[in-house]
Amino acid sequence: MNLQTLTGGTVAGKKWLDIVAYDIKCNSIIPVVPIPAGIPSEIRSADLSSSLTANDIGISGGGLDLIGSQLDMNNAFLRNPGLIDTSGATLNIITPTTQISQGLGAWDLSINSLPRLTQNAIKSKLECGTSRLQLAALSDLLSDDTSTYLAAQNVALTKNMAVAIAPDQLYINQDYGAVNRLFVDDGKTALYSKNAQSGPAGSLLELNNDNTWTLGTYFANNGIIECRPNSLALYGNASNSSCIMTGSNIITALSNGSGRIDRVVLDTGGQVWYDPTGTERLRLSTSGISIGGLYTLPTTAGVNGQVLTKNGLGGSDWQSPQIVGLYSATSQITVANTTVQTSLIPSGVGSLTVPAGFFQPGMSFQLSCGGIFRDNANNTQITFRLLNSGTLFSSGLITLSNVPLATTAWNISTQFTYISGTQLITNFTFSYGVSGSSNMFGYTAQQVVNTFNPLVSNTLNFTVEWAVANANNTITTNYFTLTKMY
């Protein structure tokens, strides 16, 4: 080191000690002469407000102590300091573009007068341009200082997008937290587009920790799906339409201009369709098919040739059309040598049974049958009966007069008409004669039954009964037809 002492003036005047490498300047130098052994060399001001002390440099090193307001080292280095200690509350290291400052429990690093790193008792913040990372000692997201986040900013330092973290909470938001984009807390996980909460368009997915979730667009204006306990609902544009599915039913609804109206309801009992006014139009259930809530279709298929008509009791039944065949024999049957009442109806096609509620006032039926018979002698007696659940007609004992032992042809024409209530009128005509003979004999009668029951199923039967049993007493049915005339 080159030392040069410049002297001049009086003791009270200024004396300069220049160390060329460091340019250390002190005013009013009063050197300590001689310097005792072991005592450091010292340069101090007259009022002792400033001093520079150089300690003896030994094996363990030395030191440079400064007491005063400033140590100015221009274009120099401070090498390997073991300790920089100041008695002031703040230590600032300043360069033309960087400042490191510490004081009052805070530590800051600034570049170009812009904060870059800040630490204090409640937060640590790292900033660079338009981005920042902050770790808060207590993160409750209630204020900027008590929030842990990673954020992007615009030039006005307003957060455009941020990730914020708190106990049981995670947010990704936008516009300084005004718009939530991802929301996770102890109650739900939600994902939103930017306009999901502010409109006019947007979409969202919310997964709640209570067995519910929502998928849709801005407040259901363009459609939404909601899953709630025991219910899954789909809502259409502006909620004008919906489909709600629960554990027991499915309900679809459409708007009629003033609000949603149920249009189709499916439940465990059946299915119902409604018109835009909410009036029931069609119902399918285990009890049948109902039209308009007034007309109920039967649950049976009916028989061949029948048609569906109202029965006057709020429902409908299968009925045969007017002048339509109900039954026609395809075989023959003979009753002989017996006094037991026996059917004269051969097997055939069609049906002799009508369902309950079938008869309407004025309905009329025609029975036509015939064949051959012979008896043991003149004046043999025979009885014909028309039956259903009861007796519709009984001829009583008819005496067969002028009947030779030869074969005799016979014909029966019967018409029965339902009047109303329990009243049924039967008109019965029986005729016979010897084949090839111009002589004809017969029997005609009319009977009224007031116990006929149209509310139960009715099956027609036609029987014959001989008064005495004889091998010659035989009667055969060759044809048998039953038709509905009206």
For every residue of 169-223, DSSP letters joined together read EEEEEETTTTEEEEEEESSEEEEE-TTTTT-SS-EEEEEETTS-EEEEEGGGSEE
Same domain, 328 and 286: no
Over residues 121-166, the pLDDT tens digits come to 888 888 887 788 888 888 888 888 888 888 887 666 556 778 888 8
- Gap between the Cα atoms of 425 and 427, Å rounded: 7
Q: Classify residue 427: in a domain, yes or no.
A: yes
Q: Classify residue 191: in a domain, yes or no.
A: no
Cα angle, residue 122 at apex, residues 119 and 124 outer, rounded to 5°: 35
Same domain, 368 and 443: yes
Residue 323 binned pLDDT confidence (cut-offs 50, 70, 90): low
pLDDT value, residue 376: 78
- Angstrom distances, CA of residue 457 to CA of 353, 357, 463: 7, 8, 19
Q: Classify residue 312: in a domain, yes or no.
A: no
Domain count for the chain, please give it: 3
Inter-residue contact 107 to 118 (CB < 8 Å): yes
Same domain, 281 and 347: no
Among 263, 260, 271, 228, residue whose Cα is nearest residue 247: 228
DSSP letter string over 80-111?
S-S----SSS-EEEE-SSEEEEEETTEEEEEE
- Domain termination residue (choose one: 85, 109, 128): 85
Cβ contacts of 279 within 8 Å, gap of 6 or more = 293
- Gap between the Cα atoms of 345 and 353, Å rounded: 13
Inter-residue contact 136 to 129 (CB < 8 Å): no
Cβ contacts of 300 within 8 Å, gap of 6 or more = 318, 355
Q: Classify residue 195: in a domain, yes or no.
A: no
Same domain, 258 and 390: no
- Gap between the Cα atoms of 292 and 277, Å rounded: 13
Using only C-alpha atoms, the chain has a radius of gyration, in whole angstroms, of 60
CB-based burial of residue 344 (10 Å sphere; 0-12 exposed, 13-18 middle, 19+ buried)? Answer: buried
Expressed as residue numbers, the domain containing 80 is 1-85
For 375-450, strand residue ranges (E) read: 380-387, 391-394, 398-400, 408-420, 423-434, 440-449
Inter-residue contact 174 to 191 (CB < 8 Å): no
Q: Classify residue 436: in a domain, yes or no.
A: yes
pLDDT over 80 (residue 71): no
* Cα–chain center distance at 192: 21
Inter-residue contact 191 to 207 (CB < 8 Å): no
Q: Return the CATH number at 451.
A: 2.60.120
pLDDT value, residue 165: 83
Over residues 266-292, the pLDDT tens digits come to 988 889 989 988 888 888 888 778 888
Mean pLDDT computed over 340-349:
95
Residue 217 binned pLDDT confidence (cut-offs 50, 70, 90): confident
Number of residues assigned to the chain: 486
* Cα–chain center distance at 401: 85
- Gap between the Cα atoms of 41 and 35, Å rounded: 7
pLDDT value, residue 109: 82
Q: Classify residue 309: in a domain, yes or no.
A: no
- Gap between the Cα atoms of 190 and 182, Å rounded: 6
Over residues 473-484, the pLDDT tens digits come to 899 999 999 999
Select the more confidently predicted residue: 298 or 455. 455
Inter-residue contact 428 to 414 (CB < 8 Å): yes
Q: Classify residue 91: in a domain, yes or no.
A: no
Same domain, 267 and 374: no
Q: Is the peptide bond before 34 cis (omega within 30 degrees of 0)?
A: yes
* Cα–chain center distance at 362: 54
Same domain, 387 and 447: yes
Same domain, 381 and 435: yes
Inter-residue contact 395 to 443 (CB < 8 Å): yes
Same domain, 282 and 329: no
Same domain, 364 and 283: no
Cβ contacts of 324 within 8 Å, gap of 6 or more = 305, 483, 484
Cβ contacts of 473 within 8 Å, gap of 6 or more = 336, 337, 374, 375, 376, 380, 466
Same domain, 436 and 372: yes
Mean pLDDT computed over 48-76:
57
pLDDT value, residue 168: 83
Q: Classify residue 166: in a domain, yes or no.
A: no
Mean pLDDT computed over 40-52:
61
Inter-residue contact 444 to 428 (CB < 8 Å): yes
- Domain termination residue (choose one: 68, 85, 102): 85
Same domain, 282 and 422: no
- Domain termination residue (choose one: 85, 114, 147): 85
Same domain, 333 and 480: yes
